[in-house]
Amino acid sequence: RAPMALIAGPCQMESRDHAFDVAGRLAEICRTAGIGLVYKSSFDKANRTSLSAERGIGLEKAMEVFADLKKEFGFPVITDIHTEEQCALVAPTVDMLQIPAFLCRQTDLLIAAAKTGRAINIKKGQFLAPWDMKNVLAKINGSGNPNALLCERGASFGYNTLVSDMRALPIMAAMGAPVIFDATHSVQQPGGQGGSSGGQREFVETLARAAVAVGVAGLFIETHENPDRAPSDGPNMVPLDQMARLIDRLMAFDAIAKA
Amino acid sequence: RAPMALIAGPCQMESRDHAFDVAGRLAEICRTAGIGLVYKSSFDKANRTSLSAERGIGLEKAMEVFADLKKEFGFPVITDIHTEEQCALVAPTVDMLQIPAFLCRQTDLLIAAAKTGRAINIKKGQFLAPWDMKNVLAKINGSGNPNALLCERGASFGYNTLVSDMRALPIMAAMGAPVIFDATHSVQQPGGQGGSSGGQREFVETLARAAVAVGVAGLFIETHENPDRAPSDGPNMVPLDQMARLIDRLMAFDAIAKA
Amino acid sequence: RAPMALIAGPCQMESRDHAFDVAGRLAEICRTAGIGLVYKSSFDKANRTSLSAERGIGLEKAMEVFADLKKEFGFPVITDIHTEEQCALVAPTVDMLQIPAFLCRQTDLLIAAAKTGRAINIKKGQFLAPWDMKNVLAKINGSGNPNALLCERGASFGYNTLVSDMRALPIMAAMGAPVIFDATHSVQQPGGQGGSSGGQREFVETLARAAVAVGVAGLFIETHENPDRAPSDGPNMVPLDQMARLIDRLMAFDAIAKA
Amino acid sequence: RAPMALIAGPCQMESRDHAFDVAGRLAEICRTAGIGLVYKSSFDKANRTSLSAERGIGLEKAMEVFADLKKEFGFPVITDIHTEEQCALVAPTVDMLQIPAFLCRQTDLLIAAAKTGRAINIKKGQFLAPWDMKNVLAKINGSGNPNALLCERGASFGYNTLVSDMRALPIMAAMGAPVIFDATHSVQQPGGQGGSSGGQREFVETLARAAVAVGVAGLFIETHENPDRAPSDGPNMVPLDQMARLIDRLMAFDAIAKA
């Protein structure tokens, strides 16, 4: 089986300069490690805990930056969409569309995303059993798009906590779609800080190791040169300067898992 | 404190005739019981488990029927919306907009709903702690709309099951918004039937009694003259001919709770 | 159906004087309210969070006090046992033996308790589904003792939290045993204070109302004249001087539930 | 860090012949693989779901067999105890005592086990947060026994299901005790078959891989030459003829994890 790929980038696209900075360093890390990179950023954080939280640079500007990043670094890019209209707007630029976990049951959004013909990474809802992703997958495939990926990012476990059930990975893989493990949002503590979500960055490697050993097509890890100053998901992003070592370790497990 | 109100109706608006039928019988039941009725139906079920599931009669047709129902029966009506655009389209007709549980964190949808000036019934996400509804409520109130209601409809509890934490009712009431208990979706078993969600109709009264005794501003109960043939939520809707007796019993508890 | 009974008392038997004090006041409250009382205290807290926590006055001394309390006040008494040996030692004195939740699957303990012929109140394990109490009940009944009661006290819900699933009450009642709702331990936060368990006394009435409205044979509520100084379960015990009013309110719901 | 060890054997000691059979094959497998073996069997299954379920050959007989197994194969052995009295009875023969998960909060049992001076493997209760094992560990260490191991075996996740939170492994390791992952009971479905517990043998390798990649001192895997005919835990035991290949794969992950 093919070695795993990496979906990575800063949670939000903060600015053109910031995007180029992080992308350049990530591209270098992945080239050195020999792992395929799909660069990820959100142009809009539509589901922030608070009304006043920062939401990103906007769709139009983000698409320009994505196009330039692709030209510069040659990697494919992925972004998340939140309305049907956005699907057609981002599809000419991005290579992969991402369905947010809260929205994984919105039929019209799934269909609109599918119709773009782009690959679709579907985050599994925190409220869904792994076997129920079969119905979600069928909405994409049944709309004529065979290129869906299924992404585990934790299941609700009491209040303000998620738990990663590693059984979800083989259960979803048996549906025939590549399975991604999101090690960043799996350590999120939803609402855990009152006006924003908390996170447990210290467990990113723990869960990533576990998922890679079980076997995944790809890992999703958000990263930032200074997570504590990031506008969103800071508590669960990995510092950029720790990515190289982290990826090396995980690739060693991946090699065994795929042997 | 005021006696509780009832939000009730068939899950989907199936047809003009069906709507008038159920509405007529419900209006009569509520008049006899002396309980205020807000008539509820969905014009579109946007988050069905399967792609092939029936979705409703559509927004435009539903608004005509709602307008006629209001003229005929004099009750206020509520429907759920799933996109920003729908908010302005339904607001001239309906008295109350409902935010689906899966969408309770979508900031733009909340703002668009708030901007209509209509009352907003926000279903608490199955993935949210009751105290985290404070942030959701602030998105409505912070957009200039003071008329939000908070609705408990169960929390994720393992896979394919919800649990109703009665502590959520006083926790949300302390935020200053009227609290509704949705006795229909709280007994849902998400994805529990493979291609559709299951439900435990037999526990609607159990959970409704519990919630009313704890104290609520209103109850949400979907009903149908023949739930087993309803296009959606059949397993958890209450047969229409059992509503009168159910409401009587619940009103007795409400009277004690409000004494 | 018969009105509900009350199982109440301080969590631990602290001393003869303390026991007589609380028992006297509780007996008076229950006589006034017209509710049957079963007086409860533990002679040993065998499963404290910490090694250094206080554990009670011991079996022998407690039996003397129980015997004297019964003579003085005429009520039946209940205590919890943790080993097979204790069953025969407490049975001559106490009217009802209680199986702790953690121990509800220990076959030999259940059999030893059953063999005493006394009534057995079995706390449902935090790790058990309500329908699985059928097997536990069968161990008592199958040992020749028909007098088992089933007691709901919360189910594990993520970490350090319990949730009370009110559906458990009718599910267990359908097994033919009287069902008790433990409003004290249902608001426990296991391990929630690091070296001891926390609790949410403010929700005792919330959950008790809910359970009584659903319908129970009895309520279990621990009480203390000064919970914050109690050696165990302080955070979830109800102050003794609030018991009269609480019981009155709950009896009003019980009357409706049994009508 | 040292390579992981294996705690393995059939769930119950069924007979002398059966024990020798399985032990011989396991010893051979572990010698070939180069992994240390602690042979495990229960002499009594004290917490069976049903009264009529088989419980094992009894303490006295089991100790004779354990002694002979040790003489024959030279490996250390472990068994689980359920009462204080049993601790002193098994300690002369077995090398390691195991505290069952349901009993991990029973102070007297923990003390009695600790006092034997033997190593103590404490299963984490399905109802406990990983950080709460600190208090449990302190009961052993505070009784003068420094040789405790902490064992993850799943946490309650809704009804009839457990989930393995891999974060528990580093959390418990930080307490300074060796951490064991029980891949057999973590895939148990408590009460899942009505009168007995079900299990998902097909996920033993999934969870074991995950745990080993995260890093453990040892793995606990029950095995049987014909699990479907085993008197207990059949649904989650690994067939003996699959153990060699399973261990090989897991040791490859262990080598990376300890590099």
In tens, the pLDDT along A7-30 reads 999 999 999 999 999 999 999 999
Min Cα separation A34/chain C (Å) = 39
CB A249 within 8 A of CB A212: no
Contact B161 D159 (CB under 8 A): yes
pTM of the complete model: 0.96
Q: What is the mean pLDDT of the segment spanning A186-211?
A: 88
- CA–CA distance, B237 with B251 (Å, rounded to integer): 19
Query: To the nearest whole angstrom, how far is the Cα of B7 from the nearest Cα of chain D?
Result: 29
Q: Does B161 touch chain D (CB under 8 A)?
A: yes
Residues of C in contact with A158 (CB under 8 A): 157-159, 161, 163
Across the interface, do B206 and C166 touch by the CB < 8 Å criterion? Answer: yes
Taking the CA of residue D163 and the nearest CA in chain B, the distance in Å comes to: 9
Q: Which residues 74-103 of C are in CB contact (within 8 Å) with A?
A: none
Q: What percent of chain C has pLDDT over 90?
A: 86
Specify the pLDDT at position A192: 66
User: In angstroms, rounded to a whole number, what is the distance separating the alpha carbons of residues B24 and B240?
Assistant: 11
d(CA C96, CA C113): 10
Q: How confident is the model at residue A184 (pLDDT cuts 50, 70, 90)?
A: very high
How far does the CA of residue B60 sit from the closest CA of chain A (Å)? 17
Chain B's closest residue to D159, CA to CA, is B158
Q: Which pair of tokens denotes residue B255?
A: 């009277």
Closest CA to C254 of C220, C185, C208, C223: C208
Please report the pLDDT score of residue A45 as a whole number. 80
Asked if B191 and A82 come within 8 Å (Cβ–Cβ), the reply is no
Helix (H) or strand (E) holding D4: none
Q: Is B129 on the interface with C (CB under 8 A)?
A: no
Query: What is the chain A residue with the closest CA to D215?
Result: A206
Residues B50/B196, Cβ–Cβ less than 8 Å: yes
Q: Which of C87, C107, C123, C160 to mutate to test the interface with D (most CBs of D within 10 A)?
A: C107
For D1-76, strand residue ranges (E) read 5-9, 37-40
B165 touching C (Cβ < 8 Å): yes
d(CA C161, CA C159): 6
Token pair, residue C178, equals 């009287």
Please report, to the nearest 10 degrees, the dihedral formed by the alpha carbons of residues B168, B171, B173, B175 taken in order: -130
Assign D186 a pLDDT band (cuts: 50, 70, 90): very high
- On whether any CB of chain D is under 8 Å from the CB of A257, the answer is yes
pLDDT average, residue stretch D250-258: 98
Whether the CB of A51 is below 8 Å from some CB of chain D: the reply is no
Q: What is the mean pLDDT of residues C49-57?
A: 80
Nearest Cα to C72, choosing from C16, C5, C11, C24? C24
Contact list in C for residue D83 (CB cut-off 8 A) is: 83-84
Q: Tokens 């007994």 — which residue?
A: B187
So what's the pLDDT on residue A96? 98
Interchain contact, B157 vs D158, CB within 8 Å: yes
Q: Which of D48, D37, D44 has its CA nearest to residue D61?
A: D44
The answer to whether the Cβ–Cβ distance between D163 and A157 falls below 8 Å is yes
Question: What is residue B237's predicted lDDT score, i.e. its pLDDT?
Answer: 92
Q: What angle do CA B7, B11, B16 make, to 5 degrees?
A: 100
Instruction: Give the per-residue pLDDT at B192.
Output: 66
Q: What is the ipTM of this complex?
A: 0.96
Q: Which residues of chain A make contact with D257, given a CB cutoff of 8 A?
A: 209, 253
pLDDT at site C133:
97
Contact C32/D at CB under 8 A: no
CA distance A153 to chain B (A): 13
Report d(CA C219, CA C118) in Å as an integer.
Answer: 19
Instruction: Look up residue A53 and give its amino acid.
Output: A
For residues B210-218, average pLDDT: 98
CA distance B113 to B82: 10
Q: How far apart are CA D243 and CA B146, in angstroms?
A: 64
Q: Which residue of B has its CA nearest to A159?
A: B129
